Amino acid sequence: MVRQVLAAVATDDKVVDRVVDAARGNSPEVARLPAAENRRHIAFLLAEGIAHLERGGAADDGDFSAALALGADRAAQGVSMAGLLRGVHAGRTELIRASVELARSLGVDDGTILDFMIDLDHYVGAVERHIIDGYHTAEMQLARTARDLNTQVLRRLLVSGEFPDAAELSRAGLRSDGRYHCVVSTVTDPSHARAVEQRLTPSGVYGLVEGRLAGLSTSLPSWSDDLLVVSPALPLSSMRLTYSLCTQALLVASGRSGVQLLTDLAAETTLAAFPALADTLASSLLGALDHGSAFHHEMVATALCYLDTGGRISATATALHVHANTVRYRLDRLVELTDVDLGESPDASRSHVLTTLHTWWALRTWLGEVTPR
């Protein structure tokens, strides 16, 4: 029966989600990191820990390299020790609570549960000690490097808004009167971040900011396998706000790759900031449509493509691989069933541009493509 509990804990994604949510909910610093980054470490530690207990190993025996790496990563990502421990302690409590619930649902008696919890708590305690060791080791190593000094300057400019003095900026390779592109990436793994940074560094200063590789560059990055959101060149005094906009745009660009300009994502980023308004608009214009109807989905997708191709029937037909008459039929039916305005009969009392924007936003929202998930 104990093996059943171990297997259930190790394979239950809901347990991992609960531990991740507890850690993020109790530590704002941990919550600023991407959820996938938190989940990656916790899922691996949990699987390793359960396997260790199944093998009957003592609490302090075994391979704790994952715990050491977690501590080192959090130090490199700028999470304070207090913030890290708040997350670890909350996750530890939630793990034990979830394990007890699973054991009871499987009919395990209280005596066996107690023995299991004691072993689990001892192991988690050992994991916590190694996380702290990894953090301290990395912290001492980072404190001796110019790279960490550069990262601290970046974090002050992009997050806290504390403007470094001229000497600090100079040491980091920045000028107080310079103009820089703010670069924010989806890269969170420190080892991968270092490899990407080496390719980008010649024209800028980079480091892990709130868990993601970010930086300031004098020129636009020419290419990247990873997603990079890049702002126009702006003065350092505006970088805190610009960084915030770039991180919001990063959510909108999720699923894409390469260099994405912040200005190209401006409309989508702005609209995505108001999901409730988007739902209201979609409901108002497209409320007569049925999400369960395949034809209604075809109509909306066709209208969206029609607007994206500049209102050209032939281009829409080519993009969707259908006949032009099919496009016309779908658009006509959509106009008959809803209040959308596809721009063919513009109302002189309203801005054509704004009307088209509202229609586009409603169509995208109805299809579930605007609000980041």
According to the model, what pLDDT value does residue 371 have?
Answer: 42
Q: What angle do CA 248, 251, 256 make, to 5 degrees?
A: 130
Distance CA 201, CA 142 (A): 18
Are the C-beta atoms of 331 and 302 separated by less than 8 Å? yes
Specify the pLDDT at position 126: 84
Q: Pick the closest to residue 304 from 294, 292, 316 (CA basis).
A: 316
Residues near 207 by Cβ (< 8 Å), separated by ≥ 6? 147, 148, 150, 151, 154, 155, 197, 213, 214, 215
| Parallel, antiparallel or unpaired: strands 179-185 and 204-209 | unpaired
Q: Tell me which residue of 243, 242, 262 sits closest to 252, measured CA to CA.
A: 262
Quick one: pLDDT at residue 336? 92
**Opening angle at CA 117, ends 115 and 119, nearest 5:** 70
The 3-state DSSP class for residue 224 equals coil
Query: CB count, 10 Å around CB of 96?
Result: 16
Predicted local distance difference test score (pLDDT) of residue 180: 95
365: Cα separation from own chain's centroid: 20
How far, in Å, CA of 47 to CA of 60, rounded?
Answer: 16
The model's pTM is 0.59
pLDDT value of position 68: 87
Q: Residue ranges of the chain with pLDDT lower than 50?
A: 370-373
User: Which among 14, 63, 19, 11 is positioned nearest to 41, based on CA atoms?
Assistant: 19
Distance of alpha carbon 109 from alpha carbon 155, whole angstroms: 51
What is the rounded distance in angstroms from the CA atom of residue 209 to the CA atom of residue 72?
A: 15
Query: What are 303's two structure tokens?
Result: 């209208």
**Closest to 136 (Cα-Cα) out of 63, 49, 74, 46:** 74
- As to burial, measured by CB atoms within 10 angstroms (0-12 exposed, 13-18 middle, 19+ buried), residue 323 is exposed
Q: Which two tokens stand for residue 20?
A: 């991740």
pLDDT at 58: 58
* Sequence-ordered alpha helix ranges (H) in the chain: 2-11, 13-26, 28-31, 35-54, 65-76, 81-105, 110-143, 146-155, 166-171, 190-200, 239-252, 266-272, 275-286, 294-308, 313-320, 324-337, 352-366
pLDDT of residue 209: 92
Q: Which two tokens stand for residue 218?
A: 């004098």
Report the distance separating Cα 15 and Cα 23, nearest Å. Answer: 12
Tokens of 301: 């997708």
Residue type, 265: L
